[in-house]
Amino acid sequence: MTFAEYAWLIPIFPLIAFVVIGFLGNRLFKKWEGGAPIAIGMAAISLILSLLVAIEALTGDGTPFIQSMDWLIVAGENFDFNFRIGIYIDTLAALMLIVVSIISTLVVIYSLGYMHEEGEKKRRYYAIISLFIGVMLGLVLASNFLQMFIFWELVGLCSYLLIGFWNTRPSAASAAKKAFLVTRIGDIMFMGGLFIFFVGFQGNLDFDYIFNNVEAFVGGNELLTLGTFLIFGGAIGKSAQFPLHDWLPDAMEGPTTVSALIHAATMVKAGVYLVARSYPIMVHTETTLMIVACIGGFTALFAATMALNNTNIKRVLAYSTVSQLGYMFLALGAGGYIYTQTLEPNIGYTAGMFHLMNHAFFKALLFLSAGAVIHAVHTEDMRLMGGLSKKLKITSAVMLIGCISIAGIPPFSGFWSKDLILEAVYEGIEISPIFGVLYAMGLITAFLTAFYMFRLWFLTFTGEPRDSYAYDHAHEAPKSMWMPLAILAIFAFGSGFALLFGFESLIVPEGVFALPAKTALVVVEDMFTNPLTYASIVAALLGIGLAYLAYYKKTIDPAVFTATPARKAMSNVLDARYGFTRAYDWIGLTVVYGIAKVVSAIDRLIIDGFIDGVSSFLIKSGNFLRRGQTGYVQSYAAVVVAGVSLIAILLLLIGVVI
C-alpha cells in the first residue's frame, strides 16, 4: 500500500479550493471566472489521486486499507469509548471514488461555460461546489459511521445551498428548504440507527469492528433489525425513495450543473452507498432487506410513471433518477434477502453497485446535455423546443447515447446493469412470490423508462420547432461544455464493459461472500443465453417504438393518452405527483404546524403561565407592602418606638433579667 496512505489528501484538495475561493475575497478572483481555475485544478488533483488510490485498491488482494487516529476519547468507569477519524478503502469505496471524482471534475469544467453569465455569484458557486465535492469524497472514505454521518450532514447542507443558488427566486428558496427538511427526516432516522449501533456495539462504530463482529451486538436481532432499518431510513431520505421522494423534482430549481452533480455523483448516491456500505450488517436482518427491495421496486415503477407526461426536461430526468435509484435499492435488497435465505453468493449487490456506476455516467451526461439545451434555448419547457438537432448537433448526439444507455439497449452501459438487476430479482421467485411482483415492476419500469426518455429526446430534438424565437436564438454549447459531454458519452457508452473485465468478482460485499471470476466470453454467453435478457430488451424496444410512433412519426397522436375522461384524470394525477406535494404541504401546515401550535399553547399558557403567576403575585404583594413607606419621618419613629416598647414588655413578661 503506497498511494492509499495519502488517500486522506483526496477530500482535502477540494476543501482547500473552498477555503481559498470562499474566503479570499471577490477582488482576487474577479478576472478569474470567480475562482473556477482553482476549483477545477483542485478537483483534478483529487481526481488523479483518487484514480491512483482506486486502481491500487481494485488490483490489490481485496483486504480493505484502514488508517485511523483517535479523535474523541471518553474514559468512564463502566463505559468507555473512542471515536476515531480515518479512512477505509475497499473495492466499494474505490468504485465510488472513481465515479465521484470523474463526474465532479467534469461538472466543474462544464460549469465554466454554463455559469459564465452569473457574474459575482460565481465565486459562491465555485466555493460551495468545491465543498460539495470535498465532503462527498470524505463521506466515501469515512472509516466509521459517525464520521460518515458528519459528512452526510455536510452533503445535505451543500445541496441546500446549491439548490437555492438563485436565492432571489422564491421557488428556488422553497425547493432548497424542502430538500433540506425532507432529507432531514431521513437524517434523523440515520441518527437513530447510529444510537442503536452505538449502544449495541458498545461504543465502537468503526466499520472494521462492526463488520467483523456483528454477532457481538447486544440487544438481540429485533433491535439490530430496527437499527439497520433506521440506517436505511437515512438512505430513503437522501436517495429520494418513496415516500420521501418529492424533494428531488423540486430540487431542479438549482442550476443544471448542480442537478447533474446531485443526481450522478453526490447526494442521492450517498444513500445507495450507505446501504451498500452497511451490507455486512444488513445481511443479518432479512426483514430490513425485504423492505429495501420492496421500497426500491415500488419507487422504480412509481417514479417512472410520473415522468411519462411531464413537460419539463429536467423534471423528467429527475423522476428517472428516482426510478433508477429504486432499481439500485431493489438489487441490493433482493440480493441480500436471497442471500439470507439460501446463503449462496448472488449477483444482487454487484448489480446494484454496477448500476450505480453506469447510472452516474449516463445521468451526468443526460443532465449536462439538458443543461446545454437549456443554455441554448433559455427554457426548460419541452413544449417550446423541437427540431433542435439541426442546431445542437453534438448535444443531440451525446444525449441520444445517454437515452439509449438508460433505456437499456445492448451494448450500451445501462443494458448490462439493468439486466443484471432484473436477473438478480428473478432468482428470488423460488423463495418468495413477492419477487415475482418486484420483477414485473422492474420490467414495466424498463419499458416506461425507454418510453419517456425517447419521448424527451424526440420532443426536444426532432420535428418542427414549436417556438421560433427560441429556435432562432439557439446555438451550440461552447467548448468547455461539449468537451465534458463527449468524455461522459464515452463513459456512458462503455462503462458497462467493466462487467466483461471482472467487475463481478471485484465489487462484492466485503467479508460476506465472494463471487468467482468469469471470463468475458462466459459473461456474454450467460447473458445472451438467458431468456430474461430478451424480455428486458423487448421491453425497452417496445418503449422506444411507442415513443417513436407517438412523437416522431405521429402515427399515434399523443392526444390519445388524454382522450377519455379516465385517461385525462390519470394524467392529472400524474401532474399532481400523486398528490404528494399537497400531502407534504398538508403534513407540514396542518399536522406539524398544528402540533406546534398545541405545544406553543402549552408553553405559553401552562409553563409561562405558572412563571408569570409567581412574578405577578410578587409584584402585587410588593405594591401592597410599599404603602407602608409613607415618607413621614414621624411615622417611622412611631414604629421604632412601638417595636422597642414591645420588646421591652416581652422581656419583662418572660422575666429576663437585664
Per CB under 8 A, residues contacting another protein are 626-634, 637-638, 641
CA distances to 217, 237, 339, 477, 498 from 193, in Å:
13, 14, 23, 46, 34
Residues forming a β-bridge with 68: 86
Task: Please answer whether residues 250 and 365 qualify as being in contact, where contact means their C-beta atoms are separated by less than 8 angstroms.
Answer: no
CA distances to 198, 271, 515 from 95, in Å:
28, 15, 17
Task: Please answer whether residues 449 and 320 qualify as being in contact, where contact means their C-beta atoms are separated by less than 8 angstroms.
Answer: yes
Assigned C-alpha cell, 15? 476543501
**Beta carbons within 8 Å of 195's beta carbon, 6+ residues apart:** none
Peptide bond into 280 cis (omega under 30): no
Q: In this structure, how many other beta carbons lie within 10 angstroms of the beta carbon of residue 431?
A: 14
Q: In this structure, how many other beta carbons lie within 10 angstroms of the beta carbon of residue 623?
A: 9
CA distance 124 to 115: 11
Q: Measured from the CB atom, is 591 or 642 closer to another protein?
A: 642
CA distance 137 to 72: 22
Residue 351 parent element (H or E):
helix 348-377
Work out the burial of residue 402: count CB atoms within 10 Å of its CB; fewer than 13 is exposed, 13-18 middle, 19 or more buried. Answer: buried
Please list the alpha-helical segments (H only) found in 24-90.
26-29, 36-59
Place of cell 412519426: 553
CA distance 251 to 614: 50
Work out the burial of residue 371: count CB atoms within 10 Å of its CB; fewer than 13 is exposed, 13-18 middle, 19 or more buried. Answer: buried
Dump the DSSP string for 461-485: HSSS-S-HHHHHH--PPPHHHHHHH
Length of the chain: 658
Residues forming a β-bridge with 312: 381
